[in-house]
Amino acid sequence: MKQASKQYIPFQPLQWPNRQWPNKTITKAPIWCSVDLRDGNQALVTPMQLEEKLLMFKTLVDIGFKEIEVGFPSASETEYEILRTLIEGYHIPDDVTIQVLVQARPELIKKTFEAVKGAKNVIVHFYNSTSTLQRKVVFKEDMPGIIKIAVEGAKLIRQLTEEAIASSGMNIRYEYSPESFTGTEIDFAIEICESVMETLGATNENPIILNLPSTVEMSTPNTYADQIEYFCTKMKNREAAIISIHPHNDRGTGVAAAELALLGGADRIEGTLFGNGERTGNLDIVTVALNMYTQGVDPELDFSNILAVKKIYEACTKMKVPERQPYAGELAFTAFSGSHQDAIRKGYEYMAESDTPYWEVPYLPINPADLSREYEPVIRINSQSGKGGAAFVLQHAVGYRLPKEMHPEFGNIVKAASDAFGDELKEEQIVDLFNREYVEFDGKYKLASHSFLEQRELDGTTHTRFEGKIDVCGDMKEVAGVGNGPIDSFFQALAGIGVEGYEFVNYHEHAISRGSDAKGICYIELKIPGNGHIFGVGIDSNINVAALLGILCAINRAEK
């Protein structure tokens, strides 16, 4: 790469030592305005067709947007026709305001007013570029010339608005954007906005929306917050304006810029679902809204079925939401790392055991279920996963609660299988692996029949006698043994056919089904002759039998 300092002019931040925003937090939802159908749509390789625009519009309404920029009707016949269909087809609910964009040019403004005829609530959004660079390179105009363009546009808009209100009773509001605001000298931005406000007659009762776009994101997000706070503090007649922000995402910090600009005093946000928009996109409204939600602030937008919204978005825009997109990405609730998986499992256990009203699961800033996302795929198992992850999946899938001591053994089996498979293992594969390795393990010894006899002596001691048949590689052997309980007597019986040297270490059991045919699962840990430990698993409606099956399973696995 070339030497940066010889090629790029660093952004000159505003001097604003009085800034108050760093000490603030977001405590309420802003006014949201979706620009999916305009800024988002103009950035698509194939712009949305009528049906897609209608579906997207309905989706935005269902999410709860009350202000929706529907297009740039003076820019193309298609945009004009779509707007007419929205209005004439009665697709716009009474509590929703449609917004239309237009440049501050007389012929375009007139066409825009024709396009919105008959709509109940409209925001006429007009703009002209104000930045130093645009003035120099594109418009070749000085500051007064740029103010004149805005004021002339405002005069015509006011006149046409008053006529439309008088003739049709439409409710029309104004929005003005000094386009490329972030690259505009801030006092000049204030001056042009104040001139527009005065021309339009903005009042506290009828405020104008002043939209201060980060048309191009030019610096760190704190600089945008400074610009917004400075603007709000220095402008005249602050109460007669709704301060709106419109951050683009050129540096990848559109969401951060929006959040800090809210702290800086903005009242309203323009953005798109999943951040679609020109170049690197607009601000992602889903992320900003759900970030608020995770801080206990009601965003007043409904993303409770985020995957349905994503599906419609992808179908309409032909864009793909990236896998790691916050909240909506396919992998947003997936942890591959073992320590993360362990912590998530403990978090879910804590949520089940405690009666905390709060969401307290490490590594998951939001409850996936709040977005109608399943927590089943929360944990996926690959070769990077730890010992607890596979146990968690098993517990969730089939209710087996492996003792902690068994996690490493099964974790290693899963890891080896994942390495061999070369990919992550799905839940069904993990259950299948467990069944093959333990429950259905086909080894040398099989329990063919059994009976227990419990005897209590006069001195209070008890003995258990085990009698049964064990199939040893197809050869049926009668066995018997006496011990101080079923497990001990079984070990004595096994010694009779030469199975010796195993030491019983531990035993865990729990029910896995309910009712009269309830079954229990038993996890047995044995010390192997020589050294090392091994586990076996048995399932039966009789828990004593489940234990014998578990012992044979462990021995079979040791002798395979």
Residue ranges in contact with Zn ion by CB under 5 A? 39
Report the nearest approach of Zn ion to the CB of residue 10 (Å).
Answer: 24
Amino acid at the residue 86: L
Instruction: Kindly indicate which of the ranges 16-24, 209-217, 388-396, 444-452 contains the residues binding ligand KIV, using the contact rule CB under 6 A.
Output: 209-217
> Could you tell me which residues come within 8 angstroms of residue 76 by beta carbon, excluding any fewer than 6 positions away?
none
Given Zn ion, ligand KIV, none, residue 177, with its beta carbon under 5 to 8 Å by kind, binds: ligand KIV
CA dist 400 and 402 (Å) reads 6
CA dist 386 and 411 (Å) reads 7
Q: Is 342 in the site for ligand KIV (CB under 6 A)?
A: no
> Which amino acids are annotated as binding site for Mg(2+), given as ranges?
39, 246, 248, 282
What is the phi/psi pair of residue 432, to 5°?
-60, -40
Q: Which two tokens stand for residue 365?
A: 């800033």
Question: Cα 378 to the chain's mean position, in Å?
Answer: 12
CB closer to ligand KIV, 217 vs 342: 217
Report the nearest approach of Zn ion to the CB of residue 129 (Å).
Answer: 12
> Which amino acids are annotated as binding site, given as ranges?
39, 246, 248, 282
Given ligand KIV, Zn ion, none, residue 450, with its beta carbon under 5 to 8 Å by kind, binds: none
Site for ligand KIV in 77-136 (CB under 6 A): 101, 127
What residues are paired with 469 via a beta bridge? 449, 478
Nearest-CB residue for Zn ion: 39
CB closer to Zn ion, 39 vs 229: 39
Q: For residues 469, 472, 474 and 476, what is the CA-based torsion angle, rounded to 10 degrees?
A: -30
Given ligand KIV, Zn ion, none, residue 387, with its beta carbon under 5 to 8 Å by kind, binds: none
Instruction: Kindly indicate which of the ranges 207-215, 387-395, 418-426, 450-458 contains the residues binding ligand KIV, using the contact rule CB under 6 A.
Output: 207-215
Report the nearest approach of ligand KIV to the CB of residue 270 (Å).
Answer: 7
CB closer to ligand KIV, 60 vs 361: 60
Given ligand KIV, Zn ion, none, residue 546, with its beta carbon under 5 to 8 Å by kind, binds: none
Q: Which of 34, 59, 131, 215 binds ligand KIV (CB under 6 A)?
A: 215
Instruction: Kindly indicate which of the ranges 7-15, 211-219, 348-356, 373-381 contains the residues binding ligand KIV, using the contact rule CB under 6 A.
Output: 211-219
> Considering only CA atoms, which of 154, 174, 242, 256 is closest in space to residue 214?
256
Report the nearest approach of ligand KIV to the CB of residue 397 (Å).
Answer: 48
CB atoms within 10 A of CB 520: 19
DSSP characters over 511-546: E-S-STT--EEEEEEEEPSSS-EEEEEEEESSHHHH
Sign of CA dihedral 98, 101, 104, 106: negative
69, 125 contact by CB (below 8 A): yes
> Could you tell me which residues come within 8 angstroms of residue 84 by beta carbon, excluding any fewer than 6 positions away?
115
Per-residue binding string, ligand KIV, 229-268, x by CB under 6 A, is -----------------x-x--------------------
Q: Within 13 Å, how many C-alpha atoms sit on residue 469's CB side?
A: 8
Cα→Cα distances 213→41, 245, 279, Å: 18, 6, 15
Residue 167, classed as helix, strand or coil, is helix
3-state secondary structure 464-480: EEEEEEEEECCEEEEEE
Q: Is 276 in the site for ligand KIV (CB under 6 A)?
A: no
CB closer to ligand KIV, 176 vs 392: 176
CB closer to Zn ion, 39 vs 194: 39
CA dist 209 and 189 (Å) reads 14
CB closer to ligand KIV, 38 vs 387: 38
CB closer to ligand KIV, 248 vs 450: 248
Q: Is 179 in the site for ligand KIV (CB under 6 A)?
A: yes
Report the nearest approach of ligand KIV to the CB of residue 192 (Å).
Answer: 14
Residue 73, classed as helix, strand or coil, is coil
CB closer to ligand KIV, 183 vs 265: 183
Report the nearest approach of ligand KIV to the CB of residue 215 (Å).
Answer: 3
CA dist 260 and 256 (Å) reads 6
Residue 23 buriedness (CB in 10 A; 0-12 / 13-18 / 19+):
exposed
Report the nearest approach of ligand KIV to the CB of residue 387 (Å).
Answer: 50
CB closer to Zn ion, 36 vs 39: 39
Q: Which of 71, 213, 411, 486 binds ligand KIV (CB under 6 A)?
A: 213
Q: Applying CB under 6 A, what is the total number of residues that bind ligand KIV?
A: 10
Site for ligand KIV in 21-50 (CB under 6 A): 39
84, 74 contact by CB (below 8 A): no
CB closer to ligand KIV, 251 vs 477: 251
> Considering only CA atoms, which of 56, 92, 82, 69 is closest in space to residue 311?
56
Interface residues with ligand KIV (CB under 6 A)? Answer: 39, 101, 127, 177, 179, 211, 213, 215, 246, 248
